[in-house]
Amino acid sequence: MKNAYAYEDLREASDGFIAFGTDFPVENINPMYTLYAAVERKDLQGNPKGGFQIENKTKRKDALRAMTVGAAYANFEEKEKGSIEVNKFADFVILDHDIMEVAIDQVPNIKINGTYINGEKVY
């Protein structure tokens, strides 16, 4: 367990670069739960008290980068995906709250108001 979910140790060892994803069915597929767990180091019931290996919690910006740029890089798709840039797919979501500003315990409750794939609204 000592090295499980060691996000900060991994980020520091890799010059700031890590990739997150949802290992469905091992982890819940909801990316808001992933971000919450990475930052808060607790499950949705608030366990464990004080957080799991709190020294390995990550900042929101680092978790978001790991879920976007890092995930694209891990899939060898960094030239097409992972960030909003010219000549990349415009894959993004519109959320009902700012995940960088809302209280961390509210992140799991954030709703998706729109999903765009290659610039086209699909939800």
Which pLDDT does position 65 carry in this prediction? 93
Instruction: Render pLDDT for 85-118 as a digit per residue (tens, 0 to 9).
Output: 999 999 999 999 999 999 999 999 999 999 999 9
13 phi, psi to nearest 5 deg: -70, -20
Which pLDDT does position 96 carry in this prediction? 97
Q: Which residues face 117 on adjacent strands?
A: 120
Instruction: Render pLDDT for 57-92 as a digit per residue (tens, 0 to 9).
Output: 899 999 999 999 999 999 999 999 999 999 999 999
Which pLDDT does position 25 carry in this prediction? 66
Mean per-residue pLDDT, 17-43: 86
Residue 21 has pLDDT above 70, yes or no: yes
Peptide bond into 25 cis (omega under 30): yes
Of 113 and 24, the structure prediction assigns the larger pLDDT to 113
Q: What does the alpha-carbon distance between residue 48 and residue 70 come to, in Å, rounded to a whole number?
A: 27
Give DSSP secondary structure letters for the chain: -TTTT-HHHHHHHTTT-------TTTS-S-HHHHHHHHHH-S-TT--STT-TTGGG---HHHHHHIIIIIHHHHTT-TTTSSS--TTS---EEEESS-TTTS-GGGGGG--EEEEEETTEE--
101 phi, psi to nearest 5 deg: -115, -30
Mean per-residue pLDDT, 15-35: 83
Average pLDDT, the chain: 90
Peptide bond into 31 cis (omega under 30): no
